[in-house]
Amino acid sequence: MSKELLRMENITKIYSNGFMANKDVSLTVHEGEIHALLGENGAGKTTLMKILFGLEDYQEGRILIRGEEVRIANPLDAIAKGVGMVHQHFMLMEGLTVAENIVLGIEPGKAGVFDKETAVKMTLEAAEKYNLPVVPNALVRDISVGVKQKVELLKALIRGVRLLVLDEPTAVLTPQETRELFVQLRDLRSRGYGIIFISHKLDEVMEICDNVTVLRRGRVVGTGRIADLDEKKLSSMIVGREVVKTVDREAPRRGDLVLEVRNLSYVDDIGKIHVNDLTFAVHAGEVVGIAGIEGNGQTELSEVITGLRPATKGDVMINGQSIKGRNIDQIRKLGVAHISEDRLVYGCAPDLSVWDNIASIYLSSKKFARGPFLSKRELNKFVDECIEEFEIATESRNTPVRLLSGGNIQKVIVAREFTSGANLIVANQPTRGIDVGTASLIHKLLYKYTREKNVAVLLISSDLNELLNHSDRLLVMRKGRFNAHFTDLSRVTDELLGEYMLGVRSMTEEEMGNVL
C-alpha cells in the first residue's frame, strides 16, 4: 500500500445563506492514485475542492496532508503545502508568454528585475521533466486550449505540488488532446503524484481513474475501486437511479428552411478573420452539429447569427427574414433562442435571482405583460415550472444565480432558452459541465423539439459524443471555414472527426456535397 497523501475527514460546510453544501464528507487520496470525484450538479464537488485549496472555510472536520493535520488559509498556503488546482476556466494571463505565466509569483531575477532567460530555462526544464512540451515564448493568447492546460499543469508542478486537483479538465479538449492529457496524467501517477479528477464524462473516469468517491446532496453516497465498477453502475450511483442514455433516433423529416447563412464573413476590430465566407442552412426538424477545436470561429458564427456581433459580409436569414438592421430583441422575435457559451458574461446575471434570469427575455414582449406591467403571478408559475422541468437545484426562484453550482447555472440558461418558444435554437456547448442525468434530459428535449415541434437546432459543441449521438448532420469548422460535412453519422468515429478538426484531413467541396 502506497503512502497516504491527503485525508479529508468529516468535512461539513455551510454557506452563509444556511445551505449545507458538504456534510460529513471524507476523502482519501494516496500517492500514485487518480481519484475520481463524481456527483450531480450541485452535489458539492467544487465546494469540497475549494475547501482543500483554501478558497472556502469549513465548519467541521479536518484535513490531513501526509498524516499531519493542516489548516489551509488561502491558495498560496495550499500550494506551499503541496496542493495545486487547475480550475475549469483557466486562470492564465492572456497577454503574457507561457514562461511568464508559469513563473508568475516566483519570478527569477534580482532586485525586481525579471530574468527572462532563467524563466525560459526553468520552463524548458520543467517541460522536459514532466513530459509536457510547451513553447516558452509563445503568448498565451495564441496557444490552443490543450496547450493552455499544459501550462496550468506546469504552473502547479513547478511550484512543487504533489497533489493536483483537476476540475472538469477535459470539457474543452479534442479526443487527441484528451488522450495526450491522459498519457501525462498516467506519467504523473507513476511518479507518485496524487490526482483528484472531477468529470461528468464517465467513460473517461473508467479509463483513467483508480478509485472513486461519489457525492449526492453534499454527502458521500459511495466509494469504490473503478476496477469493480462500470459506467452503468457509476451513473446509477451518481443519480440514485438508472440513466437511460440512448434515444432511438428516427430520421428527421426536414421541413422549411429556418436558418439560411449566405457567404457570411466576420472580421474583428483588429482584422482577424473568424468566419470566412460560410454558406449553410438548417431546416425545421433537424439538428445540425458543428464540430471544431475551440477558437476556430464557432462562437463568432453563433454570435453573428444571434445578433451579438455584426456580420462583416454576407447575410443571415431567419424564417425568411434577413437579420440586417435588426437589433437583438428583433432577432429574437424572428424566432431565435441562444445558449451562449460564455455563461457568466452573456448567459446570466449572477447577482440576480433565478426568476430575474428567466424573465429577462420577456421584458419587451407581450407574453407575461399587462401593458407596462409584468404579470408576476404568471411569471412565478412559469419560473417554477422551469425549475421543476429542468431539475434546477435552487432554494427558491428568488435565490441569486451566483449561489448555484456551475451546472445549475447552465440549467437556468438552458431552461430559459428552450422554453422561449423560438423555432431556431442556437446551442453553443449546451451541456458543458452538466451531469449525466440532466444532459440526457437536454438531449431528449432537443430530440423532442425537433421531431414534434419542428424546431431547427444548430448545435455547437466540443463534446464529440454529444455531436455524434444527437446531430442529424455534422459540419466540421476549422479556421473559419468548413472542412467536412457528414450526413451519415453512423460511420463517423471520434478519431476521424478529430483528424478533420485538427486539419490533418479535409474534404473538397464535392465531397462535402450540399450543405444547404
Binding site for ligand ATP (CB under 6 A): 15, 17, 19, 21, 39, 41-47, 393, 403-408, 433, 435
Nearer to another protein, 44 or 347 (CB): 347
Site string for another protein, 327-356 (x = CB under 8 A): xxxxxxx----x-x----xxxxxxxx---x
Asked if 89 and 152 touch (Cβ cutoff 8 Å), the reply is no
Sheet containing strand 4-14, strands side by side = 20-30, 4-14, 60-65, 68-70
**How many residues form the binding site for Mg ion (CB under 5 A)?**
2
* Alpha helices (runs of H) in 362-492, residue ranges in sequence order: 376-389, 406-418, 436-453, 464-470
Decide: is 46 part of the binding site for Mg ion (CB under 5 A): yes
Which region, judged by CB under 8 A, interacts with another protein, from 158-166, 325-333, 424-432, 469-477?
325-333
> Which residues between 367 and 426 bind another protein (CB under 8 A)?
369, 372-374, 376, 395-396
List beta partners, residue 283: 257
- Comparing CB distances to Mg ion, the nearer of 4 and 204 is 204
Using CB distances below 5 to 8 A depending on partner kind, what does residue 73 bind out of Mg ion, ligand ATP, another protein, none? none
Assess 366 for contact with another protein (CB under 8 A).
no
The count of C-alpha atoms lying within 13 angstroms of the C-alpha of 189, restricted to the half-sphere facing its C-beta, is 18
Which residue, 297 or 407, is less far from ligand ATP as judged by CB?
Answer: 407
* 5 to 44: interface string for another protein, x by CB under 8 A: ---------x-xxxxx--x---------------------
Nearer to Mg ion, 406 or 480 (CB): 406
Q: Please name the residue ranges forming H helices in 289-400.
A: 298-305, 328-333, 354-359, 376-389
Residue closer to Mg ion (CB basis): 217 or 262: 217
Question: Which of another protein, ligand ATP, Mg ion, none lies near 270, with the C-beta cut-off 5 to 8 A by kind?
Answer: none
Q: Taking CB under 8 A as the rule, does residue 110 contact another protein?
A: no
Residues whose CB is less than 8 angstroms from the CB of residue 3 and which lie 6 or more positions away in sequence, other chains included? 30, 31, 66
What does 338 interact with, of ligand ATP, another protein, Mg ion, none (CB < 5 to 8 A by kind)?
another protein
Q: How far is residue 49's CA from residue 46's CA, in Å, rounded to a whole number?
A: 5
Beta strands in 71-205 (DSSP E): 83-86, 163-167, 194-198
Q: How far is the CB of 10 from Mg ion (least distance, A)?
A: 21
Shorter beta-carbon distance to another protein: residue 20 or 489: 20
Proportion of the chain in helix, strand, coil states, percent, rounded to 5: 35, 25, 40
What kind and span of H or E run contains 70?
Answer: strand 68-70
State the alpha helices, DSSP H only, in 471-506: 494-502
Could you give the angle at the alpha carbon of 44 between the alpha carbons of 411 and 346, nearest 5°?
Answer: 35
Which residues contact Mg ion by CB under 5 A? Answer: 46, 406
